[in-house]
Structure 1
């Protein structure tokens, strides 16, 4: 009996290595594509996962490893850039040329580039024709609002900052304080960063009489001119035109509050309208361009690339990475992704049925301006803007002190960027 057991165990041990070797061989035969994305909502990620699974089914020799790092994305990518060890495919999240350009493969030879929306040319192409990334969608940011509330109180969508302030005061007064006029999810500092970044363009760029492009680029900008945005935000807070928990409120609360008719305006766009409709179809969310600040100026969209797929130029699987991009650029797949994100596609041959389609059509002649920080601020200023907003709302710093802080950080980060650039060129 003992000899029989030993013989049986020996056979098992002989068989197991063979099975393991067979499995290892099969796994090794598959090439793994690693993808990093900044997609943040469940609907966006679920659709991306579904299309990825369809790609894997079509390409049985390729496995795709998806990663959604969330708020850690930028830090993780900085580390990987420093080590020159990037994912096979990654999201340039608005920095296709400026931050990631030297790491991206040229995609100009791909068929979908024939249908690249011309509005994205200055953002995703250079003068020699290099295409830096495939745009999954394109952003047109403004103000999201509860159309029910504006209709109830007979308020026209604001076109100027004065109109906006008047609308907020009317909502507070007529709702007897039951509705938050302008809601911030300040626990995530990007909510305040978005406010500063979005309104900085009409304050400092679009009006010819207040154009500070040259000064911002050459480092001579007087940051006292930025104080206006902090003054306005602080005024809103004093008049209780923003939520009293603006510093601690979380993005996860937004959909439910909007669905309960407790919010009038917010900075959040994307899938908000669609997500609110899933909870309460009677609440209609609209989106409008960013209001003008100076007299005589016009509202603008703030936009450019939102989600992209760039291929790392040194990827050992560059061929497969391009195959994945080609798959995602198929009109049917591109349409699915655009609709999942509630934003227009980056391709002219794709017409997505998105929640804000009527609003985008209504404002189709409104100019689209690039994100302020991507053109005029050094790398790292987005976080500084967000922290500054938190400190202002928490009464840690005054509007004037905020401008002084921004001036110091702007100078420090510019010098840091110039030093790093010099080191990279050595």
Structure 2
């Protein structure tokens, strides 16, 4: 999913209108039903999950009709366009990392922190002490492992309840690596720099989201860690090696031993593989970034629409009837946000330790929401992979990162 594009840059394209935007009384029914629109992203399985959750809501609230606007590409750009053009959906799905760029288009909402099993969940929807969206699903990361590769190398599996340190991970990954390309068996999938920075205890920004942290020692050392991992004698594929390849496919056939960046959307893939040696364990170090999705309510909604939208958001967020539908053997939108649905989540794949996804909700840290985060990360990534050995470059990260930090800070200050 692409991240936020500033509203001002999209205003000229405001002629693009999302199907079904607006909201009014149900004219077809001729009654007093209220119609609201709900914009969301996702693949086919995720869209089907949301459709089932909406159907459960409408069954319990027959006086509210929910029209779904499934935006299959460029979600946030198109959402910005609809807002700028006065065609905002009544309710829209939004990531906690992008919330700052949309908060001025949403109504402030009431969120009861006690309704959730981790304070990270409600806190993710808060900006400057106020809630601007209602949380409804968590997307944490775990590490998937292939026990067959461990057995072949005589290496014990990582603990299922305690994260390895990042140094332990590197040592184990090297032990699990064997052979030469194209038959080489890698100890790990390619490491995602942004995620591994969090695992190492670093961050793009400070906790206030006002200071870039890319010139820190940990940011530079993380780059060197990833470069070493994908060196010719390393344990992870390079950018070129991994291009166009599905790392889970590699894991399932034994070309990888560990896949650190494993999200809940891949649970169905894991269930479909009959090999009992596939398992999930915690991500090393501090874990990788998690995404929490919320539901924002348009400030342009009529009073009737806003009331219906609040009822809808509360149902999606705290009703077990809705939360139980988030994960099945066919698809997973993510981890429930209420404790009552955790057992249903784990029952979708009882042979796997899905509790690892739940534990990661507390293991992970909420990253600050920054309005220009997409631009900052895009600029950083382009420079990182063109100038250093993470990609095609040769420059020392210690020479590159201070410059990138200045660029980051300049963009951050211009918000």
Give yes or no for TM over 0.5: yes
User: Aligned pairs, how many?
Assistant: 366
CA contact (8 A) 2:126 2:132 kept: yes
Aligned to 2:345: 353
Provide the C-alpha distance between the structure 1 equivalents of 2:103 and 2:82, rounded to a whole number of angstroms: 14
CA deviation profile, 1:352-395 (whole Å, cap 9, x unmatched): 33346455289579643123x64798552232344345434431
Aligned to 1:10: none
**204, 215, 222: which one pairs with 1:222?**
215
CA contact (8 A) 2:101 2:370 kept: no
Aligned to 1:410: 408
CA deviation profile, 1:71-104 (whole Å, cap 9, x unmatched): x123334444555653221222123753333332
Aligned to 1:312: 298
The alpha-carbon deviation at position 334 of structure 1 amounts to 0.7
- Change beyond 3 A, Cα 1:36–1:47: same
Provide the C-alpha distance between the structure 1 equivalents of 2:361 and 2:39, rounded to a whole number of angstroms: 34
Structure 2 residue 214 is matched with structure 1 residue 199 = no
Structure possessing the higher radius of gyration over alpha carbons = 1
Structure 2 residue 125 is matched with structure 1 residue 124 = yes
For residue 341 of structure 2, give the secondary structure of its aligned residue in structure 1: coil
Aligned to 1:149: 149
Farther-moved stretch of structure 1 (165-174 vs 392-401): 392-401
Q: TM-score, normalised by structure 2?
A: 0.72
- Change beyond 3 A, Cα 1:277–1:82: same
Provide the C-alpha distance between the structure 2 equivalents of 1:404 and 1:125, rounded to a whole number of angstroms: 31
Q: TM-score, normalised by structure 1?
A: 0.70
**256, 272, 275: which one pairs with 2:269?**
275
CA contact (8 A) 1:273 1:286 kept: no
Report matched runs for 1:230-249 at 5 Å.
Answer: 230-238=223-231, 239-244=233-238, 246=240, 249=243
CA contact (8 A) 2:280 2:356 kept: no
Provide the C-alpha distance between the structure 1 equivalents of 2:197 and 2:189, rounded to a whole number of angstroms: 19
CA contact (8 A) 2:140 2:264 kept: no
Q: Looking at secondary structure, tell me which structure has more helix per residue.
A: 1
The alpha-carbon deviation at position 31 of structure 1 amounts to 5.6
Report matched runs for 1:2-151 at 5 Å.
Answer: 26=28, 32-40=35-43, 42-56=44-58, 59=62, 62-70=65-73, 72-80=74-82, 82=84, 85-95=87-97, 98-108=100-110, 114-117=114-117, 118-125=119-126, 130-151=130-151
The alpha-carbon deviation at position 223 of structure 1 amounts to 5.2
Provide the C-alpha distance between the structure 2 equivalents of 1:144 and 1:385, rounded to a whole number of angstroms: 28
Aligned to 1:420: none
5+ long unaligned stretches in structure 1: 1-23, 185-191, 292-298, 418-426
Provide the C-alpha distance between the structure 2 equivalents of 1:64 and 1:46, rounded to a whole number of angstroms: 14
The alignment yields a C-alpha RMSD, in angstroms, of: 4.0
CA contact (8 A) 1:36 1:67 kept: yes
**368, 375, 381: which one pairs with 2:376?**
381
The alpha-carbon deviation at position 270 of structure 1 amounts to 1.4
Aligned to 1:7: none
- Change beyond 3 A, Cα 1:258–1:244: same
CA contact (8 A) 1:144 1:265 kept: yes
The alpha-carbon deviation at position 242 of structure 1 amounts to 2.1
Aligned to 2:171: 166
**319, 332, 336: which one pairs with 2:325?**
336
CA contact (8 A) 2:34 2:63 kept: no
Structure 2 residue 314 is matched with structure 1 residue 323 = no
Report matched runs for 1:174-185 at 5 Å.
Answer: 178-184=184-190
Provide the C-alpha distance between the structure 1 equivalents of 2:413 and 2:128, rounded to a whole number of angstroms: 27
